[in-house]
Copies of this chain bind each other. A is one copy, B any other.
Amino acid sequence: MSRRNQLGDLQLAIMRVLWSEGEASASAVHRALWDERGLAPTTIATMLRKMEHKGVVSHALEGRKFVYRPETTEAGVRRSMVEQLAQRLFGGDVAAFASYLISENEIDSAELSELEKLVAQKSRKEKETR
């Protein structure tokens, strides 16, 4: 649902800062992303304004500077974005998607056993509720 939660790369980076800080001013976000991206402060500020217009963040006046807060959760964004890709590539078939991920990628054995456990667990639960 909602194309509102479809975020670009920079937008995600910004959201990650906001999610981890809870809230942050434009300059704080800028500082947080400086090492990784080296963008101009105005770029961050502009992006934040665009994101507010889109509804994924909101701002409040605190003292004399803006403080931005996330208006969407990481889980929600993940959900929407994964869902969209699942739709586009696998016609919404999540199992096919998972199966693809597992068979077409390197996964070390520790992680494989984790996955095995997870699937087994879910499988068990599935049977209980029926």
Contacts and interface: CB of A to CB of B under 8 A. Distances in A.
Interface string A87-102: 0110000110111111
A113 B122 CA distance: 10
A78 to B, nearest CB: 6
Copies of this protein in the complex? 2
A106 interface: yes
A122 B101 contact: no
A90 to B, nearest CB: 9
A9 interface: yes
A93 to B, nearest CB: 9
Contacts of A112: 95, 119, 122-123, 126
**Size class of the contact patch on chain A:** 35 or more
A32 B11 CA distance: 36
Contact of A119 (B100, B108, B116): B116
B115 A95 contact: yes
A36 interface: no
Contacts of A39: none
A109 interface: yes
Interface of A: 9, 12, 78-79, 81-82, 85, 88-89, 94-95, 97-109, 111-116, 118-120, 122-123, 126-127, 130
